[in-house]
């Protein structure tokens, strides 16, 4: 790679960043192998599911953050529909579970569902 960003002179200018990115795309460093596999995408989707679940399980739930993670998961699962392989059905189910949990929490104002009192 011949183009170097002048970081010592402060932040690089937008044109420098674009030039470096374009050069990298046209001529990646030797030995660098790019690939995307369905299982890698599934792992990222599971990470988004977990992130949304973490935000939904806070008390009170962090609904804005959960919505963002949920929307990102939806973009991945629905945007790649038919191309996620054998994990697609499970990912779609996970997305639907998150959506239902989100709606229930949003409608209840983030309150935990009531549980019957234990009998003595």
Using an 8 Å Cβ cutoff, are 91 and 79 in contact? no
H, E, C per residue of the chain: CCCCCCHHHCCCCHHHHHHHHHHHHHCCCCCCCCCCCHHHHHHHHHHHHHHHHHHHCCCCCCHHHHHHHHHHHHHHHHHCCCCCHHHHHHHHHHHHHHHHHHHHHHHCCCCCCCCCCCCC
What does pTM read for this prediction? 0.65
Residue 90, domain member (yes or no)? yes
Measured CA to CA, the distance from residue 68 to residue 22 in angstroms comes to: 30
Residue 81, domain member (yes or no)? yes
- Domains identified in the chain, total number: 1
Residue 84, domain member (yes or no)? yes
CA torsion 26-30-31-32 (nearest 10°) is -30
Show pLDDT as tens, one digit a residue, over the chain (120 residues).
Answer: 444 544 445 555 677 777 777 776 676 666 555 556 778 889 999 999 999 999 999 999 999 999 999 999 999 999 999 999 899 999 999 999 999 999 999 999 876 655 555 544
Domain boundaries, position 62: 38-107
Residue 69, domain member (yes or no)? yes
């Amino acid at each position: 790679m011949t183009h170097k960003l002048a970081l010592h002179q402060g932040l690089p200018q937008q044109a420098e960043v674009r030039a470096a990115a374009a050069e990298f795309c046209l001529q990646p460093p030797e030995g660098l192998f790019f690939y995307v596999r369905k299982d890698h995408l599934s792992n990222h989707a599971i990470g988004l599911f977990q992130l949304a679940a973490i935000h939904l399980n806070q008390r009170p739930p962090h609904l804005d953050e959960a919505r963002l993670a949920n929307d990102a998961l939806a973009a991945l699962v629905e945007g790649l529909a038919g191309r996620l392989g054998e994990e697609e059905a499970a990912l779609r189910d996970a997305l639907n579970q998150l959506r239902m949990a989100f709606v229930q929490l949003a409608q209840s104002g983030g309150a935990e569902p009531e549980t019957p009192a234990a009998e003595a």
